[in-house]
Amino acid sequence: MSLAIVANALTMIFCMAVLVQSVRMMRSLRTVKDGALTQVVEALEKATGQARAVLSDMKATLGTDCAQHARLVEQARELRDELQLMTGIADAACERIVGAVSIANAHRAAGAAEEEGAEGEGEGDGEEKADTRPQVEAA
């Protein structure tokens, strides 16, 4: 056998294999063409329509909800600013009250020290002195 005959025989074998595969592929494509591809396209079209409807609903919902949430956030910020102002005023008032109490305690201590000094000098008289200190009521 010559080399040419062997090459022709291999070429015929490969061509027959290609023909068998072509027939199998034609059958598969005919099956897809007859129904499967059409059903797939219809299902995709239906899913796309549903997705569009959901997206439009979400867009409308987010449009109204976002505006409402933005208003609520703005109101919350205004309340926060007002509460900060009120807290600052309360802190200042508390500091003034603490200052006034410390001044009153200092005056009371000074008055008590003066009375003790005066009582020490007046022990020989035998008279009791009345308490002239201002009385502070507990709140």
**Pair 129, 115: CB distance under 8 Å:** yes
What global pTM score does this model have?
0.40
Domain holding 43, by residue range, is 3-114
Ordered per-residue pLDDT tens for the chain, 139 residues: 688 899 999 999 999 999 999 999 998 888 777 776 677 778 889 999 999 999 998 888 888 888 888 889 999 999 999 999 999 999 999 999 999 999 999 999 888 888 887 776 655 554 455 555 555 555 4
Position 29 in a domain: yes
In sequence order, the 6+-apart residues with CB closer than 8 A to the CB of 53 are none
Q: Does residue 124 sit within a domain?
A: no
Task: Tell me the Cα Rg of the chain.
Answer: 51
Inside any domain, residue 133: no
Q: Which residues contact 133 (CB under 8 A, 6 or more apart)?
A: 108, 111, 112, 115
